Amino acid sequence: MKLVKQFETMSINNFIFIGKRGVIYKDPSVQRRLCWDKNDKEGYLKSLKLNLHSDNFVICEIESCVSRAMFDGNTEDYKYFKNLYDSGFRYISIDGANRSEYLLELYHKYFKGETPVPEDIANIFDNEIQICKYKQTTKEDLHLIFLYKNSHKSPNDSEKRNSILGPVSTFVRSMGDTYQGVLGVMPKVNNFSRMKDLEHITSLLMYHQNPIIKPTPSKLTNLYKKTEIDNQKEFISIMKIWGMCITLIYVTKSKLHSTTSFNLFMFILDMSRKYSCVLNKELLPQFIEKYLELDNIRRANTIYNDPKTNWSLLNRTMGSNLGYKFECIYEDFKPFVNDYFYELDSKRLFTEFEKIIKHIENGYMVKMKDGSFEVVTILQMLNGEFYHGGHKDNPFTKGGKGTMDNLEIQRAKDNKSQGNRH
Each residue of 144-160: pLDDT tens digit? 888 776 444 556 778 78
Pairing of strands 24-25, 277-279: unpaired
pLDDT, tens digit, 9 for 90 and up, residues 217-253:
888 989 999 999 999 999 999 999 999 999 999 999 9
pLDDT, tens digit, 9 for 90 and up, residues 100-147:
888 888 888 887 766 678 888 888 888 888 999 999 999 999 988 887
**pLDDT confidence bin for 411, thresholds 50/70/90:** confident
Neighbour-count burial of 205, counting CB atoms closer than 10 A to its CB (0-12 exposed, 13-18 middle, 19+ buried): buried
Averaged pLDDT, 302-327: 92
Please, which residues have CB within 8 angstroms of residue 70's CB and are 6 or more apart in sequence?
78
Closest CA to 301 of 292, 293, 310, 313: 310
- The answer to whether the CB of 422 falls within 8 A of the CB of 395 is yes
Whether the per-residue pLDDT at 393 is higher than 80: the answer is no
Q: 33 to each of 162, 192, 319, 361, how far by Cα in Å?
A: 11, 8, 26, 63
- CA separation for the pair 301, 310 (Å, rounded): 9
Q: 218 to each of 85, 149, 300, how far by Cα in Å?
A: 36, 20, 35
**pLDDT confidence bin for 206, thresholds 50/70/90:** very high
Packing angle, helices 217-224 and 167-178, rounded to 10: 110
pTM of the complete model: 0.64
Angle among Cα 133, 137, 140 to the nearest 5 degrees reads: 120
pLDDT at 74: 93
Most distant CA atoms of the chain, gap in Å = 93
Query: Per DSSP, which regions of 90-240 are E strands?
Result: 91-95, 128-135
Q: Coil, strand, or helix at residue 294?
A: helix
